[in-house]
Amino acid sequence: MFLGQTASPQHVARSAGRAEYVVVLRGRPYSPPTEGAHMSGKRDLNFSLYSGRLTHPPEMMQYNTGHGHMLCFSLAIHSDAPSDKIDNPMFLDVKVTGASPELHQHMSVGQEVRVRGELQSRTFKKQDRIQRTYYLHVKHPSDLEFLSRPKDKTTT
């Protein structure tokens, strides 16, 4: 069940007269893993939702196999916490698989975008040190939502 989605009657169970809601992900009921189940083959939930502004023009890349495209861009995500007195954004790389080659033409620097995907990491060795980088993997372009356009700086 995604944000703002209500449970349908088949997703509501009655227990001792009170309703219990069941979360549905990808068409199947989701139940959190039981204690000690993390090593038993059950998968944890990896679901992230971010909203931010594009920091540079998006790049369209083609898979090594030549069958599909990947859209790559970076978001600046600002915290809305009242305790944050200094503007210190988090930068997140985003990779959208299955994107059409024309999709990047509709995006511009400063545009606000909302993305939903899985947070992933990649480990590599650089100058005899192991480093890790994180990125958001968006599995389908429908999980990419265009919000406000950047403000025109020429207008006074």
**pLDDT, tens only, 81-129:** 666 566 778 899 999 988 887 888 889 999 999 999 999 988 888 888 8
What whole-number distance in Å separates Cα of residue 117 and Cα of residue 70?
14
What whole-number distance in Å separates Cα of residue 72 and Cα of residue 57?
9
Provide the pLDDT for residue 2: 42
Report the percent of the chain where pLDDT is more than 90. 23
* Positions of CATH 2.40.50.140 in the chain: 48-146
Q: What is the CATH code of the structural domain delimited by 48-146? A: 2.40.50.140
Phi, then psi, of 150 in degrees rounded to 5: -65, 150
Tokens, residue 39: 């090593």
Provide the pLDDT for residue 34: 53
Q: What is the pTM of this model?
A: 0.63
The larger pLDDT score, comparing residue 83 to residue 148, is at 148
What whole-number distance in Å separates Cα of residue 51 and Cα of residue 129?
32
Provide the pLDDT for residue 114: 94
Q: Please name which of 51, 107, 58 lies closest in space to residue 80, comparing C-alpha atoms.
A: 51
pLDDT at 58 over 70: yes
Q: Please name which of 115, 100, 3 lies closest in space to residue 53, comparing C-alpha atoms.
A: 115
